[in-house]
């Protein structure tokens, strides 16, 4: 009985941290939605740092595995990652434009293929209309992004990152509350 009580306390403590984290994520997501330009620039900069660090790791790794085949490929790809990362970091605006344009093209292509899949494969069987609707919405969003390009670059990525962060926060919060509820119910039964 003491072990169950201890585990209940540990569960409450750890879910408490998850609840705090999830509320923090929801607040960050809301801020990203209300300040999409700043969120877009921040996200693009993070991508630059990731590319730079990945490139450095690949270069170091290529020298450590020199006797193994692929030395030159790893070295060249690592150098290209470093160059791309530095370019993104020193040209956040241009990188943001390229990312936004790429997202617009991606949404159009995805929308077209989703609509085709909904009608040709009857994806989702009786719910294929929902698949087709998803394709239409994605297609319209892609057209909207490209129609308003380059101005859409200031809000698109920040808005999507904000929505993603909010949904992550909500799902974490729901999971933590469900664990707490289950723990409380099992404690009452014993």
Name every residue whose Cβ is closer than 8 Å to that of residue 1 and which is 6 or more positions away in sequence: 190
Token pair for residue 8?
């209940």
| Cβ atoms of 161 and 31 closer than 8 Å | no
Average pLDDT, rounded, for the chain:
84
Token pair for residue 39?
């969120």
- Please give the sequence-ordered ranges of beta strands (E in DSSP) within the chain, or none if there are none: none
| Cβ atoms of 115 and 157 closer than 8 Å | no
The residue ranges of every structural domain in the chain are: 2-189
- 161 vs 19: CA distance, rounded Å: 20
Residue 189 is predicted with a pLDDT of: 67
pLDDT tens for residues 1-48?
A: 444 555 677 777 778 888 899 999 999 999 999 999 899 899 899 999
Helices (H), 65-127: 71-90, 92-120
- Phi, psi angles (nearest 5°) of residue 168: -65, -45
**pTM of the full structure:** 0.66
- 17 vs 19: CA distance, rounded Å: 5
- Mean pLDDT of the region 54-82: 85
User: Any idea which of 100-104, 123-127, 180-184 has the lowest mean pLDDT?
Assistant: 123-127
- Mean pLDDT of the region 124-151: 82
| Cβ atoms of 25 and 176 closer than 8 Å | no
- 9 vs 5: CA distance, rounded Å: 6
């Amino acid at each position: 009985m003491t072990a169950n009580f201890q585990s209940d306390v540990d569960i409450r403590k750890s879910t408490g941290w998850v609840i705090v984290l999830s509320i923090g994520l929801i607040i960050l997501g809301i801020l990203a939605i209300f300040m999409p330009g700043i969120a877009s620039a921040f996200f693009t900069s993070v991508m630059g740092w990731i590319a730079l660090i990945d490139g450095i790791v690949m270069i170091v790794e290529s020298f450590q595995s020199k006797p193994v085949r692929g030395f030159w490929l790893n070295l060249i790809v690592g150098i290209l990652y470093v160059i791309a990362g530095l370019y993104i970091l020193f040209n956040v605006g241009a990188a943001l434009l390229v990312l936004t344009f790429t997202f617009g093209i991606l949404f159009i292509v995805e929308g077209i293929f989703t609509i085709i899949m909904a009608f040709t494969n009857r994806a989702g069987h009786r719910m294929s209309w929902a698949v087709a609707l998803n394709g239409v919405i994605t297609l319209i969003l892609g057209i909207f992004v490209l129609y308003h390009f380059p101005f859409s670059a200031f809000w698109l990525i920040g808005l999507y990152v904000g929505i993603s962060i909010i949904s992550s926060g909500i799902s974490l919060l729901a999971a933590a509350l469900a664990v707490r509820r289950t723990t409380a119910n099992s404690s009452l039964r014993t």
